[in-house]
Chains A and B, each alone.
Chain A
């Protein structure tokens, strides 16, 4: 193997598993340490700089960081990264003065944002302080997109959302609400310098051909439309017996909302086996906790109606069969069809993009699935002035992905308006700083605590089911928040090795609790991974390899299970190892005034 180049900004970035997995690359360990230090405002700002909606995300994020968290590999459960974000948001002080002010002098450029969801709002936040004049269009009464129309209040209270949406709108954004954009051509004619499309994936899938679908149409709803009408208070009740079709997070929000609007017997019915449902495990748990059974392996066959009144649905029972390639097919079990009674049915079986308002002769190319052709780095479409991001770019994802797209689209729009190449993107900001303060003394808490993951307490079920606006999760209190924060392994405090100082005394290799370090002769990576003190099978994390040492060997470190405990550096007599904090801030159009780096 070649010696590792730690100067490559992506090298240590990948060692910080959570930050690397976060689409917006939030510096997770940095904010977790700030929480442990009771610096909630600073912790909030580290988040806000990266992910724009810490209060929202601390309650609702899909949290791709958590399955990636190192703690899950060396203990059992990852750090509760997401819910710690909420601790920062709930306990922050005044933050407004720490945010960028609207630019005093405008730069003369005008940008249109179509759709007011997290993607567009992120573009607005990044560009407004630079002097751009931002016009935001949305057909709804209020900005926020699906964070407002879809995510139910019992998961995300309106005040939390409003506060974070307003931080952005207060930067002098021109809002054009209750304004449905029916023609992109007309917008282009308004001579904006650039247009960002952040209209999401607004169309819910239907089962138009299922027998009985249209006989009792008033009792059969498309999940996301129904959730939006609940959110905007057009719908306030539902029948006693409800079937929710589908196994994703939308189905979980539909069934839990139904329970709060009068549904006494709410059932989720899904085609796939329980373990393969798309919903996150915690969403399924929360639904079942609210006495909602999940019936898996049931394929809808028909709606049963009597005189135009819905009576229920029939389902075929199936089981999953896999071919050699692991592809699944659902095969009938041969049992008789199952009838389930229902007064109303909610269909939460998928979401699609739809762009009826984009004329097809403007130079924006669409692929065979009717999706715009969008560059995955620059987010530019085939029309140079038109950018896409969020769910509208590559299909439905989540809030944090929309934010990540927004940042990159803002970088592109800024480059574009300044007449620069979109390909030559500024480098991320990085910084590597020693944490040594003395013998046995580091400026971070290097002790590894044994505590298992703490559970977030919930409000009493009788209270939350009685009112859809009562938030279910209560969040960690400060003392539990502190203990959970201490579980973080500080994966951003890197073990930096200096070959020329090493005297090959083996002290680091002997002390390392997780047997990460081996001194050996070099070889091809695959073979080397097998003959380390402990084999290193996880190829998604690096092996760090030093230059040749005096004895002709190299130092090989498996980055996969390092605890960042600092013992290697502690035991090194020549300080060939040092613990250095690596800060990585993804390229953004606008930096915070007091940003850490």
Chain B
């Protein structure tokens, strides 16, 4: 009986701009159930970080409790990480972000972790516009505790044991929109061609980037009648647009019909390029985004892709006018500027 990952890798693996292969972004071997959607999302995160050529030590992975919140162990082994308490990831992330603004904060949560016990924390992280990615691996159930319905389970969705969910679902993307999140997207664990560019754009976005990723729980919520099963989700997907993430200085080679393409610049000169954009949807208009979400829901469809982007909102550090350096780099002269500086301050208060 052996279940270990061999050390050998494909000798033809390409390297990114900083000389790393995808292997350098891997984590430990997953202990989740075989076929769990969460593992695919981990794979997409590895791929996105590799493609962005992020130095792994510049990333901090934050999570709560749940199968989803376990996944940071399975990607980016060379990054920082904090596996916090159930539903409390946002407050730990807030503290970390205030202490060191230079890291890329990657929060991973579950639908239980966010939409139930962690709801209070979640809404305040949005309100404060922390510069972080907040990804919910949404399987409509509490996977880790054996599949109880979560607050994102759809009304009428059938569980494995055959009972029907009598409650309305919380749409986390809709909630994020309502609360003023600056980046809102939805995707599906089984569609890396969409998820990877979304993850890259979310990491490049200088504010709170929320991604709701439908991620089937193969063990407890992949049965017929469930609205979070692989088959159901695949049959009901509808995308706002096809998305490409375009890093600085690169050229696009694929050709699309003029008119159906839209470029959205991000602060670091990279941009999001959308093709085949849905009719009546403007990603930079919050009403239009809400409208698109509601319309899809009425039609029984799951709207995926980028939903909303607001580049104008100030992030928490800007709002609070904090120091632009990580606290751990501040030395004594800055922290204790001396009696002369004190006198000046006192004089100013007189």
Interface residues of A (CB under 8 A from B): 73-75, 440-441, 445-448, 450, 503-507, 509-511, 513-516, 533-537, 550-551, 561, 563, 565, 567, 570-574
Contacts and interface: CB of A to CB of B under 8 A. Distances in A.
Nearest to B192: A506
A505 B230 contact: yes
Nearest to A510: B43
A515 B13 contact: yes
B34 interface: yes
Nearest to B74: A510
B35 A536 contact: no
B256 interface: no
The 3 A-B pairs with the shortest beta carbon distances in the complex, nearest first, are A573-B35, A448-B6, A510-B43
Interface centre among A507, A509, A514 (most CB of B within 10 A): A507
A505 B37 contact: yes
Interface string B136-148: 0000000000000
Nearest to A520: B193
Contacts of A533: 22
Given A534-B10, A573-B33, A513 B5 contact: yes
Given A503-B230, A506-B43, A573-B218, A511 B30 contact: yes
B12 interface: yes
B252 interface: no
Given A510-B43, A535-B12, A573-B218, A446 B34 contact: no
Contacts of B10: 514-516, 534, 561
Interface centre among A511, A535, A567, A573 (most CB of B within 10 A): A573
Contacts of B22: 515, 533
Contact of B11 (A74, A506, A565): A74
A440 B3 contact: yes
B237 to A, nearest CB: 10
Contacts of B39: 506-507, 510-511, 571
Given A511-B30, A515-B22, A551-B234, A534 B8 contact: no
Nearest to A573: B35
A113 to B, nearest CB: 47
Contacts of B304: none
A570 B3 contact: yes
A441 B216 contact: no
Interface centre among A440, A505, A514 (most CB of B within 10 A): A505
Given A504-B230, A505-B216, A74 B3 contact: no
Interface centre among A73, A514, A574 (most CB of B within 10 A): A514
A450 B7 contact: yes
A440 B190 CA distance: 25
Given A448-B6, A505-B36, A509-B43, 5 more contacts: A74-B8, A503-B231, A505-B230, A510-B40, A534-B10
Contacts of B36: 505, 507, 573
A49 B91 CA distance: 70
B161 interface: no
B343 to A, nearest CB: 62
B4 A447 contact: yes
Contacts of B218: 505, 573
29 contacts: A445-B2, A446-B2, A447-B2, A447-B4, A450-B7, A504-B190, A504-B234, A505-B190, A506-B189, A507-B34, A507-B40, A510-B39, A510-B40, A510-B42, A511-B5, A511-B39, A513-B5, A515-B13, A534-B14, A535-B12, A537-B12, A551-B234, A567-B5, A570-B3, A571-B35, A572-B34, A573-B33, A573-B35, A573-B218
Contacts of A563: 6, 8
Nearest to A503: B230
Interface of B: 1-14, 22, 29-30, 33-37, 39-40, 42-43, 189-190, 192, 216, 218, 230-231, 234
Contacts of B5: 511, 513, 565, 567
A511 B30 CA distance: 9
A507 B4 contact: no
A234 to B, nearest CB: 52
B9 A73 contact: no
Contacts of B189: 505-506
Contacts of B6: 447-448, 513-514, 563, 565
A31 to B, nearest CB: 22
A506 B8 contact: no
Nearest to A561: B10
Given A447-B4, A448-B6, A570-B34, A506 B190 contact: yes
Contacts of B11: 73-74, 561
B75 to A, nearest CB: 10
A536 B13 CA distance: 10
Contacts of B13: 515, 534
B8 A505 contact: no
A440 B234 CA distance: 30
Contacts of A567: 5
Contacts of A574: 35
Nearest to B215: A505
A351 B205 CA distance: 73
Given A448-B6, A503-B230, A514-B8, A440 B37 contact: no
Nearest to A450: B7
A539 B311 CA distance: 48
A513 B4 CA distance: 10
Contacts of A503: 35, 230-231
Contact of A507 (B7, B35, B192, B234): B35
A75 B43 contact: no
A363 to B, nearest CB: 54
A570 B43 CA distance: 17
B1 A572 contact: no
A448 B35 CA distance: 23
Contacts of A445: 2
B8 to A, nearest CB: 4
A568 to B, nearest CB: 10
A515 B9 contact: yes
A503 B8 CA distance: 27
A550 B3 CA distance: 30
Contacts of A513: 5-9
B34 A573 contact: yes
Contacts of B216: 505
A399 B186 CA distance: 65
Contacts of B14: 534-535
Nearest to A506: B40
A506 B35 CA distance: 7
A507 B40 CA distance: 6
Contacts of B34: 507, 570-573
Contacts of A440: 1-3
A535 B42 CA distance: 22
A75 B7 CA distance: 10
A553 B293 CA distance: 28
Given A509-B43, A570-B34, A571-B34, A550 B12 contact: no
Nearest to B47: A533
A565 B6 CA distance: 8
A131 B291 CA distance: 87
Nearest to A448: B6
